Every structure is written in structure tokens, then in C-alpha cells.
Amino acid sequence: MDLRLDVVTVPVSDVDRAKTFYVEQVGFRVEQDVQIDDDHRFVELMPPGSQCSIALQTGYVDSVPGSLGGVQLNVDDVDEVHEFLRRQGVEVSDVTDFAWGRFCFFSDPDGNGWSIHGPLPA
């Protein structure tokens, strides 16, 4: 039996604003953007190198915008990603070393929290 995590819903107050942030600033690509009817929209975005996408939506999941936290993106080079995010205008924390890896943190316009995790130098 496989249990694959394929999509994580990110609760946002403005789908278009969030889509712009994730695509233009963070570098995700649009997989689909479907307006089902006046009350339902589904936008699927894919982080580069990931098999799990995120969903921005209206009319399906009733979660408080900004309530998602602890989502982690694993990368080979946290410094490279940190510099990319800064160049794109994302407010991202400094890189911090922990015993289990190197991290930096950012939030989307609604306050959904993300961490970028890279390995410690050998």
C-alpha cells in the first residue's frame, strides 16, 4: 500500500496575489488554474524538483488564511536558495545552522510559514 503526499492546500485570502508570489518570487510553476464556477477555483503550483504540489483554492477547503506552518522545502544548497529568494524580493530570514541542518524561513503574503532546509557542510 502506498500513501503518497501529492498536494498540500495552502490557505490564502487572495488566490491571484498568492499565485503571483509563489510563481514570480518563489519560482513555483503553474500546473493548472481552473475556475470551475463563480464560487470554485483550483490553482495547482509545483515547486521545482518536487513531486508534491501546492493548491490555492476557493470554495473547497475552509481554512483560515495564513494558518499553514512548518512546511519544509529540502534543497541541496540553502545559501543558493536564500540568495535567490532575496533577489526575488522575498523577506527571508538569515541562514541558521542547527544540529540537523541549515535553515532559512519565509512566509507568504498571508503568513503561511515555510522553511528551507539544506544539509550541513561535510
Which residues of the chain does CATH 3.10.180.10 include? 1-61, 69-122
Looking at residue 81, its pLDDT comes to 98
Tell me which of 3.10.180.10, 3.20.20.70, 3.30.565.10, 3.40.50.12280 is the CATH number of domain 1-61.
Answer: 3.10.180.10
DSSP-assigned letters across all residues of the chain: ------EEE---S-HHHHHHIIIIIS--EEEEEEEEETTEEEEEEE-TT-S-EEEEEESS----TT----EEEE-S-HHHHHHHHHHTT--BPPPEEETTEEEEEEE-TT--EEEEEEPPP-
What is the pTM assigned to this prediction? 0.95
Instruction: Give pLDDT tens digits for 53-91.
Output: 999 999 999 899 999 999 999 999 999 999 999 999 999
Instruction: Give pLDDT tens digits for 6-34.
Output: 999 999 999 999 999 999 999 999 999 99
CATH 3.40.50.300 assigned to domain 69-122? The reply is no
